[in-house]
Structure 1
Amino acid sequence: MKHPAHPAPQDADRDDAPATNAPLYSPARVRELLTRHGLKPTKSLGQNFLIDGNILRAIAEAGGAAPGVPVLEIGPGLGVLTREIHSRGAQVTTLEKDERLRAVLAETLGDTDVQIIWGDALDFDYATLPAGTRVIANLPYYITGLLLSRFMRAPGIVSATVLVQKEVGQRLAAKPGTDNYGFLSAIAALYGSVRHVRDVPKGAFLPAPDVTSSVIRLDFDRDRPAPEPEFLKFIEAALHHRRKTLRNNLRMIGHDGDAIDAALAALNIRADVRAEDVALGDLRDMAVKLGVIR
């Protein structure tokens, strides 16, 4: 199966090219589509459209878009990233909430076999995805954490390569004992590994967002047993108040102080330690000693 060749880099981002001849991701073409279809990006839906061909290619490449690979995209917008993924032969399913985009997506994706599912990404059943699915998406910033946690729990998803706020990317990749470490860092490590691909400047989007973004790839190890829901709740509580000690956070959720002290002593962990300084293995041992998990 032959797929369209990628545009030459020198043509990729020309804003002065005729809109109808310009690549779909060019600023001129994006503005023309928005104007002709009477559309304005909706801030509440996190709509910031990518207009940098190099970034698009980097995301698709890092995400593993390749012939026959099932790919899930969230929020196709005008179909810019969708077409880049599809051009590499991937089997693309994309979720879109904004019904106003029906006409423009019929135009930009109508000549492809991309499956568009209309509805809220938070209502989608990710457990129905086929094994080997890779998520590649410019995620709406306001629901990033919720979506990532659902990707982690979906057995068919093996990786997620996503555009997120730079701050979120730093939290995802953080290690215990560092400033950015928290619950999101912990659950990402429990399910697999995190790699920072590249930062993305504000100017790569139209309209430009208020913050710098990062492309992050999460790989999920499906050979590991999934962490118990009770353990996830335990970690979330332990890391909830960053300025409090692990002991105080655990007392706040009902654990007996003497039992906490005994567990800390048995594991040779300081009584005044904060949870963000404790390795996940030690937190798991604490959970076992406190009867949270077996």
Structure 2
Amino acid sequence: MTQPDPASPPPTPAADLPLYSPARVRDLLALHGLRPTKSLGQNFLIDGNILRAIAEAGGAARGVPVLEVGPGLGVLTRELAARGAQVTALEKDERLGPVLAETLAGLDVSVVWGDALDFDYAALPAGTRVIANLPYYITGVLLSRFMGAPGVLSATVLVQKEVAQRLAARPGEANYGFLSALAALHGTVRHVRDVPRGAFFPAPDVTSSVVRLDFDRSRPLPDPAFLKFVEAALHHRRKTLRNNLRLVGFEGEAISAALEAAGLRPDVRAEDVPLEDIRTLARHLGVIR
């Protein structure tokens, strides 16, 4: 039998490892009889460099109100709180209660139990910054909620790389669509960094990206009727704009007149049309004034 080298240091107990280490994560899950739930999009971050990059890019600092959606084991939450941010963590899975009570003990963090889809984002205080590893299956819906919440200044989030590309795309680019237009209507998007699958436990099936969306609150929120029109116009983005608008009930002659007024070709594809031209179409079709 091979004897251990007396000069080698003993292995570090899991409890003494950083919370984001794979061994500590596995130990916490085992201790509380938990397994990551795929239907809730539970992929826990296990890379300290990524955690610090998200907190830094998101603007977590002393006195800043921060909303985290889906804290999981509290790994990112601890990083945010350690920087002095006033953290509210919104979590749906109440099985995580004992874990968060342990990992967030002594920290200035308010845990709100409930579904992120039912939360009143409009009630968040002015200057709130969202910083979160979002559940991938509801990313688009949550981003639209953040955009529509007047108190939210920015959202720095981990999303699928494909979603990040769509958020940052511009008219004429391959990934441009309604989500791109929605982000542009509310502010700006900055790609922070890509995140490999190995930065999570368990590893997801896709590469992720950190993006920061800054919302221009000096602008009025977009007219809901215009948002609905933009969504219809870009619903089948590779089809012609004319066809998309006919699908939602606009008459052919009215569409032709609006396209001409906007200086657009009759066969222009939806994905190639700048937002200002879509706004011109909406005015000529009586959707907005």
TM-score computed with the length of structure 1 as normaliser = 0.94
Equivalent position to 1:165, from 155, 160, 164: 160
* Maintained 8 Å contact 1:197/1:214: yes
| Structure 2 residue 38 is the aligned partner of structure 1 residue 38 | no
| Structure 2 residue 246 is the aligned partner of structure 1 residue 251 | yes
**Alpha-carbon displacement from aligned partner over 1:110-129 (angstroms, at most 9, x marks no partner):** 21120000010100000110
Distance 2:28 2:247 in 1: 53
Distance 2:262 2:215 in 1: 29
Match for residue 135 of structure 1? 130
Gaps of 5+ in 2: 1-10
Match for residue 99 of structure 1? 94
Task: For 1:199-218, list aligned pairs within 5 A.
Answer: 199-218=194-213
Match for residue 219 of structure 2? 224
**Alpha-carbon displacement from aligned partner over 1:210-260 (angstroms, at most 9, x marks no partner):** 000000000000001111001000010011112321011111111111111
Question: Highest CA radius of gyration, 1 or 2?
Answer: 2
Distance 1:76 1:17 in 2: 26
Displacement of 1:187 in angstroms is 0.4
* Maintained 8 Å contact 1:17/1:28: no
**Relative to structure 2, which stretch is displaced further, 34-43 or 16-25?**
16-25
Q: Percent of pairs identical after alignment?
A: 78
* Maintained 8 Å contact 2:161/2:194: yes
Paired amino acid for 2:230: I
* Maintained 8 Å contact 1:18/1:28: no
* Maintained 8 Å contact 1:65/1:90: yes
The aligned length equals 279
Question: SS state of the match for residue 176, structure 1?
Answer: coil
Distance 1:17 1:147 in 2: 39
Question: SS state of the match for residue 92, structure 1?
Answer: strand
* Maintained 8 Å contact 1:159/1:219: yes
Displacement of 1:288 in angstroms is 0.3
Match for residue 240 of structure 1? 235
**Relative to structure 2, which stretch is displaced further, 252-261 or 282-291?**
252-261
Equivalent position to 2:17, from 15, 22, 28: 22
Gaps of 5+ in 1: 1-15
Paired amino acid for 1:67: R
Match for residue 187 of structure 2? 192
* Maintained 8 Å contact 1:41/1:47: yes
Equivalent position to 1:125, from 120, 135, 138: 120
Distance 1:32 1:191 in 2: 42
Question: SS state of the match for residue 270, structure 1?
Answer: coil
Paired amino acid for 2:217: R
TM-score computed with the length of structure 2 as normaliser = 0.95
Displacement of 1:18 in angstroms is 2.0
Distance 1:242 1:280 in 2: 13
Question: SS state of the match for residue 163, structure 1?
Answer: strand
Match for residue 171 of structure 2? 176
Match for residue 289 of structure 1? 284
**Alpha-carbon displacement from aligned partner over 1:126-185 (angstroms, at most 9, x marks no partner):** 011000000000000000000000000000000000000000000000000011000000
Match for residue 7 of structure 2? none
* Maintained 8 Å contact 2:238/2:270: no
* Maintained 8 Å contact 2:238/2:271: no
Paired amino acid for 2:213: L
Match for residue 5 of structure 1? none
Equivalent position to 2:264, from 259, 266, 269: 269
* Maintained 8 Å contact 1:46/1:142: yes
Equivalent position to 1:68, from 63, 73, 80: 63
